[in-house]
Amino acid sequence: MQESIHKYFKIGTIQWMSHPPADRDVLTSIRQIACDDFFDAIEVCKFDTDEARAKAKKMLEQGHMTVCYGAQPRLLGPKLNPNDLDEEGRKKAEATLLEAVDEAEYLGARGIAFLAGKWAPETKEQAYAQLLKTTKTVCDYAATKGMTVNLEVFDFDMDKAALIGPAPLAARFAADMRTMCNNFGLMVDLSHFPTTYETTKFVIRTLRPYINHFHIGNAVVKPGAEAYGDQHPRFGFPESANDTMELVDFFQVLKAEGFFNAAEPYVLSFEVKPWGEEDADIVLAGTKRVINRAWALCE
């Protein structure tokens, strides 16, 4: 493409993936990302203290960035399940998602993203009903603040083993939710397509009416290989599924399906983290190079 990618997308990164907590503190990370004009958007998650949250809010305002909020760590860390068959467990997951809406609003985000919980084949439909219940409550609350709620589509049997789940089931769930809440949508992630055994074209075409947000990244889906599962290694990681040409295909499909929107650009964030002893800043720079090259090759 001859035109800048920034014309059609707000390019972002998932802060806690680009700079894991063991690598650097969250405020240092946010400042670095906010000072880099490659990024139009940033995705943040729960803050440990009121002081850190307030300082982050000021930096994000100064940086003139689109702020997005990921509630996934709120669920994954304490192992909360929004489709828990146990009602007490489901309500705990619901409660933290409602808190996430408040925190996101304070930080200037216009919505939150989350994921479904684990499931079992014999109780799949009951879990589906529980997830509908949780999501409707969160959507109704977010609607009072003019905010959206996006469910991220994950693998269903490989790593996170989330209920939602392959693209056809995600489409069914989104259709059900849209009959009740018009502020619900889906987030799709290139790094998850190999983990659900689906192609970019299949996922995007299947979920086309419901997609609000994009992630890109990589995955290793060869059993026994290093970084196997939903680990988000860098593009080109040994025996991994995605590199420059897979991202070219992703961009080509988005263009064909009408997602290049200069008037209201979608957020497109990369979810890539350093593996082992890798240098976070080098991995960040390498990811930018892959994006720039893939975009240049997009027809």
Instruction: Render pLDDT for 101-124 as a digit per residue (tens, 0 to 9).
Output: 999 999 999 999 999 999 999 999
CA dihedral 82, 87, 89, 90 (to 10 degrees): 20
Lookup result for tokens 């309500």: 91
Q: What is the pLDDT of residue 143?
A: 98
Residues in Cβ contact with 233 at an 8 Å cutoff, skipping those fewer than 6 apart: 218, 219, 220, 227, 240, 272, 273, 275
The rounded distance, in Å, linking the Cα atoms of 297 and 299 is: 6
Asked if residue 113 lies in contact with residue 104, where contact means CB atoms within 8 angstroms, the answer is no
Please say if the pLDDT value at position 12 is more than 90. yes
Q: Which domain holds residue 134?
A: 5-297
Helix axes 244-256, 200-207, angle to 10 degrees: 30
Q: What is the pLDDT of residue 38?
A: 98
The rounded distance, in Å, linking the Cα atoms of 233 and 275 is: 6
Q: What is the pLDDT of residue 299?
A: 86
Please say if the pLDDT value at position 267 is more than 90. yes
Asked if residue 19 lies in contact with residue 49, where contact means CB atoms within 8 angstroms, the answer is no
CATH number for the domain including 204?
3.20.20.150
Q: 116 in helix, strand or coil? A: coil
Confidence label for 279 from pLDDT (cuts 50, 70 and 90): very high
Q: What is the pLDDT of residue 1?
A: 86
Asked if residue 191 lies in contact with residue 154, where contact means CB atoms within 8 angstroms, the answer is no
Residues in Cβ contact with 143 at an 8 Å cutoff, skipping those fewer than 6 apart: 181, 183
Q: What is the pLDDT of residue 130?
A: 98
The total domain count for the chain is: 1
Q: What is the pLDDT of residue 272?
A: 97
pLDDT, mean of residues 55-75: 97
Instruction: Render pLDDT for 195-204 as a digit per residue (tens, 0 to 9).
Output: 999 999 999 9
Instruction: Render pLDDT for 146-184 as a digit per residue (tens, 0 to 9).
Output: 999 999 999 999 999 999 999 999 999 999 999 999 999
- Judged by phi (left if over 0) then psi (alpha if -120 to 50, else beta), residue 254 lies in alpha
Asked if residue 191 lies in contact with residue 233, where contact means CB atoms within 8 angstroms, the answer is no
**pTM of the predicted model as reported, rounded to 2 decimal places:** 0.96
